[in-house]
A and B are shown apart, each in its own frame.
Chain A
């Protein structure tokens, strides 16, 4: 496991403001002031048990998380990156008290997620991406009203509080409409509003911009940035590397249930600084050619993206000068549109880390 020590540089957050704004609400009186760490995870393991087969039922055990250690300081915006099935959502669900850990200890603001689940729940907000998680037949206002009651919000503040969170997420004027008529972006905003209702000091965002249009996603990122600036502790999972790069103070990369690297975005990028990225935009690259490139000495990783008919081959190499010629030889007969070299980005570092794991 590559563990990069904590950096001191300031994160480069999105700073411009459009329709979404956030001003901190007063923290609850029951807010625990004890722990300096917002999240402490030690040796977290989580195993799922399932069965397979029709006549002969066989029990299977899937180890989703295999001994994770994680520490998130108060006020930090922490990114958890990893491919599908790496254990990100399982980790967040354990932190949110929705799953019990198989082994290990997990604390949020010094509170144990198993024995003090109820206290933890008052201190956290969970915002997940996607269409689900709202009552479609109720209006946006009623959805928030119901959850405000479940979170035991002060009745005299309730109406005003709902109005404020609706304004924060830019849904003022649409609150009487049924959620079933909402677009994906509006639903995401409502998820955000619900997560902010009780003004939790710790927020978990599980792929909050997934499926949201670029403008909406940008606004969600701005809100997350403003929440972090207001002192909230945020754990964010995302598949969008630029999002993690622009928002997060620190990032952990998780693969196959274990953390393979941790550090600031620039530290993670530095971990891949010993290589150069060669990008080839071409048409008709066969799998055999990709495999030949992969087997070249000095090639660290090969990935191919397909967009319409064009292919974008991304090759991470230790010595671009030496390998570009060999690369072109292997691409003989392929229509090459463009070839370029560049410095590695966070995404390249991520690909390198996940591929090596």
Chain B
């Protein structure tokens, strides 16, 4: 029997393309996660730095006999790790894909390029969960942090919303990274300032007032507040809602940016290294 005879039905899926988007997104997310979870660089980025910062903060806390629970710092360091993974992952993965000659086949596929990129950035943010797991485990095993969660379900919801939100912020960053060949330099610049101004290790109230508006625009600010409130106690619904609001804004901005950037990349021939 020939191949033509063996096949029954159309080649392409039928129906409105919007129905296929979740499937395309989930498949993209799965394969990006599969690839990045095997990358030594990504795993080290997600593990080593957060553990160092978590250790410094928890040691300082214990030595100073201060009042904040150790879980507070473990969670902050965990989000720091997710942010590092996103910022390096989005810059690194996209320039790596360009080096590998993958950007052209991806852009050439008929699926919306924004879905392809979103799969990459959500996959990257999910790999960052290594950090969260590692810092919590480290705090519990080495520093004896109490792993009591005030609202476990809200904590899980906060983790999901924070990861998705960071993935969407990665989409905004990643879309501009497609255009610039030296994207790694940009990602190096973005890591530390965001750690500082979003209150991941230093409480937001200790930072100068002019940094607050900027902090409120960044998902890690709301993500870490929601996680800490759900774990230690407090109002986690409000930061969770704001995290969702900035996520929608990132999504809209990302979709627009990806369209602009894809067109500019086709204009300026920045999809490959030749």
Contact = CB atoms under 8 A, between A and B. Distances in A.
Interface of A: 23-30, 48-49, 89, 93, 96-100, 118, 121-122, 124, 126, 128, 130, 132-138, 142, 145-147, 149-157, 160-161, 164, 168, 194, 198-199
Interface of B: 2-4, 6-7, 9-14, 17, 20, 23-24, 27-28, 31, 34-35, 38-39, 99-102, 104-111, 116, 263, 266-269, 271, 274
B261 to A, nearest CB: 13
B269 A99 contact: yes
B111 A152 contact: yes
- Give the 9 A-B CB pairs with smallest separation, nearest first: A132-B101, A150-B109, A133-B101, A149-B27, A121-B110, A23-B3, A150-B111, A23-B2, A28-B11
A199 B11 CA distance: 8
B35 A137 contact: yes
A169 B44 CA distance: 38
Contacts of B14: 29, 154
7 contacts: A23-B3, A27-B11, A28-B11, A99-B269, A124-B108, A150-B106, A164-B7
A150 B20 CA distance: 10
Contacts of B110: 118, 121-122, 150-152
Given A26-B4, A142-B31, A164-B6, A153 B106 contact: no
Given A150-B106, A157-B11, 5 more contacts: A96-B108, A99-B266, A149-B24, A160-B7, A161-B7
A235 B47 CA distance: 48
A289 B110 CA distance: 56
A122 B266 CA distance: 18
A149 B28 contact: yes
Nearest to A130: B101
A122 B38 CA distance: 32
Given A122-B110, A133-B100, A133-B105, A153 B268 contact: no
B105 A157 contact: no
A49 B100 CA distance: 24
A25 B11 contact: yes
Contacts of A151: 12, 109-111
Given A149-B28, A164-B3, A134 B109 contact: no
Contacts of A97: 107-108, 266
Contacts of A154: 9-14
Contact of A147 (B6, B10, B104, B109): B109
A157 B2 CA distance: 15
Contacts of A155: 13, 23
Nearest to A149: B27
A35 to B, nearest CB: 19
A280 B269 CA distance: 44
B267 A100 contact: yes
Nearest to A195: B105
A100 B265 CA distance: 9
A212 B266 CA distance: 30
A188 to B, nearest CB: 13
A30 B12 contact: yes
Interface hub of B6, B28, B110 (most chain A Cβ within 10 A): B110
Nearest to B271: A98
B111 A160 contact: no
Contact of A89 (B2, B11, B17, B274): B274
A153 B13 contact: yes
A56 B7 CA distance: 62
A26 B11 contact: yes
Which of A100, A156, A194, A198 has the most B CB atoms < 10 Å from its CB? A100
Contacts of B12: 28-30, 122, 151-154, 198
A134 B274 CA distance: 17
A133 B24 CA distance: 20
B180 to A, nearest CB: 14
A126 B105 contact: yes
**Max count, chain A CB within 10 A of own CB: residue among B7, B13, B24, B105:** B105
Contacts of A152: 12-13, 17, 20, 24, 110-111
Which of B14, B101, B266 has the largest count of A CB atoms less than 10 A from its CB?
Answer: B266
Contact of A194 (B34, B104, B105): B105
Given A25-B7, A142-B34, A154-B11, A149 B271 contact: no
B102 A28 contact: no
Q: Which interface residue of A26, A49, A124, A126 has the most chain B CB atoms within 10 A? A: A26
B207 to A, nearest CB: 38
Contacts of A147: 105, 109
Nearest to A158: B13
B99 to A, nearest CB: 8
B271 A137 contact: no
A75 B23 CA distance: 34
Contacts of A164: 3, 6-7
B156 to A, nearest CB: 28
Given A150-B116, A152-B110, A132 B100 contact: yes
A329 B191 CA distance: 73
